[in-house]
Structure 1
Amino acid sequence: MTTAIKRSDRRISPVFLGIAAVTAVAGWAVWTGFADNTGLAVFLFVTGAWIVSLCLHEYAHARTALHSGDISVGAKGYLTLNPLKYTHALLSIVLPVLFVIMGGIGLPGGAVFIERGRIRGRWKHSLISAAGPLTNVLFAVVCTAPFWLDALQGVPPTFRYALAFLALLQVTAALLNFLPIPGLDGYGVLEPWLSYRIRRQVEPFAPFGLLAVFGILWIPEVNIWFFDAIHAILRGLGIEELESYCGQNLYRFWQADNPLCVSR
């Protein structure tokens, strides 16, 4: 039952509202060209929107767990969208942002602690794990909507590039997080259906799954194959590789601009 959840446990955190406000202002600055440093505005907009999506990702896990029987998520602050309440703020927020800055990869972090013993039914456990990356899928659909709806008329190029790069991050986050690797949500979807013996054997590797994926992506051949797949998906959604590339180029405002990326 969810009646034990206090109203204060559901109230949206001022921290989240502050992040959303910075994102909105930065997005307005990118759209209007108000900021003298367009790249900085793109950086703040994309980073803020990425953190908002991370918060919604973890909220989806917690909310699904709540309706599946784990009422402890309320007292832990997971329903407030406050990233400071997560089990590992470093893994949930700091590392994903660093991954974006370093490699342009939307690598998800880890997260909220669900008391699985309160939940009955394998389907519920799988749905809790799937809820997070499905949020990234939804976010990607929203980001790419102007492209596949052919509604870009009047949209400033800089904003279009920023949106394309943000869409790339959401697609990579969804795809990577659905991998059936210990420590990622894809394995969490699969785990309830595995035997107890296999789960015990795999359990020690869970803390290293995320770092292993990031390490593998640094292998040039794997990186090329992976981003070819990502750009194929984005092309299907109406985003050309040059657009997401220019968005990343603007995002890294401390680097030299590429002449192919005309902002105005």
Structure 2
Amino acid sequence: MTTVFSPFRPSMLAVATGLVLASGAGAQAMPKGHHGCATSTLNVTGQGEARVAPDLAVVTLGVTTQADSAAEAMQQNAGQQRAVIDALKAAGLAAENIQTSGLNLNPMRDYGENRQPEVIGYEASNMVSIRVSDIDRLGEVLDTIVAAGANQINGIDFRREDAGQTQDDARRAAVEDARHKAQILAEAAGVQLGHVIQIGDVDTGHGPSPMRMMAADMAKEGGTPVEPGQLSMSAQVQMKFALIDDSSPCADHRRKTEPAGDMPPPHGTDTGAVAPGEPVVPDGN
């Protein structure tokens, strides 16, 4: 009988296995980067803006009335508001472009000194929002509703219904701005700007500001002038870039290990190709 002795004892095998596991855990903990080197990054924020002419105006308008009793205030308000809505429809606005946005009835109080507040009447308010797509006629429409009895106009909000393309232009401008900032910072730091690691669109929540107008300013002779101007769409992006430092040990390691483009191999290197005229030797396998 022949007995074979193993040079490894169970305790030695366990130690060897532990070394392999420890080595694997260390490799996972290494920072990600080129050839195991840590990657330096640069975070920047870019701002962008694009402008476009509006093609829609949203106006909030209505009637406010006051009377001694609540019923009388509501009755007066209903009559004036009905006349305003009829005038809007007569001016060419479709019913789907007229929407009630607020209806309020509140007591009016007299706050005298050294006594409890006293109710002296009631105030009723009925507001509607209208959408005017023909902006050139907006001044005419405003004059019409004031003449019909509207005594409150809270604001004009100019919009663009197909604003998606303009918003995309603002995003492109924001990306260009972020890349420009990153390039300047990298040059100032003496490093090269690498690839984009991460990019994200930031919701600023800012839209075009409405133009506020008061009813008292609309009864001027010659009609109400309205200048729509242009809408400004803004965008903000956050970008993370990799940085390349050619003077670091990692960059030196990269230059030594990476192929040098299309340069031919050194003389005498076996590339595996058969030279012209060289006999082909069959594979012994």
Normalising by the residue count of structure 2, what TM-score does the alignment of the two structures yield? 0.22
Structure with greater contact order relative to length (CA < 8 Å, sep ≥ 6): 2
Structure with more of its chain in strand, by fraction: 2
Structure with a larger share of its residues in helix: 1
Report which of the two structures shows the higher radius of gyration computed on alpha carbons.
2
Q: TM-score, normalised by structure 1?
A: 0.23
